[in-house]
Amino acid sequence: MKKLLWMLFGLLAIFLVACSDKGDEEAVAPEPSEDGKTAITIAYKDDGPSSEDSVKYYDALEAALKEHRDLDVEFNIVEIAQGDYAEKLNLLLYSGEIPDIIYFQGSDEQIAAQGLLEDLTPYIEGSEYLKDILYDHNGTRLDNYPYLLWVKPINHKVPVVRTDYLEQLSSSETLLADPTIENYRAFFQELVDKGLTEYGITVAGDIAELDFIFNRAFGVTSTWLEDGNGGYVYKKVSNAEKEKLAFYAELYAGGLLDNQYLTKQWDVKEDDFYNNKAGVIVGTNGKVIDLYNTRIKAVNGESAELTVLPGASGISSGYAATSVTKEPRGLAISSQSPNKNIAFEILDFLASPEGMKLDLLGYEGEHYNIENGEIVLTDKYYSEWFSRFWEPQTIKLDTAISERTPLLSPPGQASTNAVIESYEADNDFTIPEENISQWDAMENLYKEYAADIITGKVSIDAFDTFVDEWYGAGGEDITKLANEKLK
């Protein structure tokens, strides 16, 4: 079925690209609506015409564009069916309905390969604002893959704990000063032994969140590790990975890792943290940690404010390495859109002081107020507002934000600072299209073995069997490809 869909989509792509190749003189010009507005169609996860919050936001953006750029647009928000966003979005695209601005969260490479996404490089180079707010990793990712843009801090995850719990534990000072693997284990153990929590740490569904803390400590410092013989080995079949899984299995057996982690959904995971079943939770740096902080204090009082914990140290230290092959999510412009320039002008406006004021701060009188010539953020801002588009490191607004109400709470800002300080680029690369199905099967094989090892269904010795199966399932070819690329 999937192959058939791609064949149909390929035919659609050929038709659309053929039409677009007739030359600029024959390109379809944007047609204004009856009221003179240019219709801009946008597909964005969790946004839709049935959402009052979405409609309110895009109405406000229309007004801001008209006021500050004399740009008269009307947003048509696409309703994406509930379920897996990437899958549902692709079904929309298969149908031939291709919005002007598209948010992708996976499955964009196949679309770009059909020539249906615009190369953003010349637009950004000629932009008034966007080119000045890019992070270093944005530039590298755009050089590698110029179709997606996501101007936000590195989307990493960091561990946090209640500060009042931290202050009650004798192991806290040692952990913060020297966050070794064993000091982390002792910290989790004391949380449980003192009856503060049921288990030391919770994660949702797999071990990816644990890996942000422990990968580098075990020597899993990049996707492809040097093998000591001038070549590279995939991290998940390395001896370092075996040692890490053995450690996770010990945490699980000792009740320090949430024994329900495999089936736990993210919302239940968060509730377990707020209700003190879990001592440590892992969340995305910045705004997500901010929201966790607001919620934990609302449930448990001001003393429960969060403290960001460091990445574990050992063979290396810090949080997991960051992929720079491409943006894993982000905004694209359809190459078939008759409104490409206007679509980009909207994205550039959102990087301007006026655009940031809406996208970063929300609505005046609701999420912020102007007091004595300063922007004062409200409790509602901290509890519910998020930036749909850009989150630059340097914020330039016409009115200063009061020091009493910074954009991020101290824990939120500390989490972002910690990730920036710990940044290290990964050496991964995009798996070729012809190997993707094989690669997915190999990754699923790893997940099955990792889950069975951690939960004690098989011993750590089964890792060696997994390695043999992994190489037999296509690992030999992928490893050969990696060594060719990395050398």
3-state SS string for 229-263: CCCEEEHHHCHHHHHHHHHHHHHHHCCCECCCHHH
Tell me what the mean pLDDT of segment 302-307 comes to.
97
Domains and CATH numbers, the chain: 19-153+326-399 (3.40.190.10), 157-321+445-463 (3.40.190.10)
pLDDT tens, position by position, 373-430: 999 999 899 888 989 999 998 888 989 999 999 988 899 999 999 998 888 889 999 8
What average pLDDT does the segment 276-305 reach?
94
Is this structure's pTM higher than 0.85? no
The pLDDT tens digits for 105-144 are 988 988 998 999 999 999 999 999 999 999 988 999 999 9
Q: What would the pLDDT profile of 173-231 be if each residue is shown by its tens digit?
A: 999 999 999 999 999 999 999 999 999 999 999 999 999 999 999 999 999 999 999 99
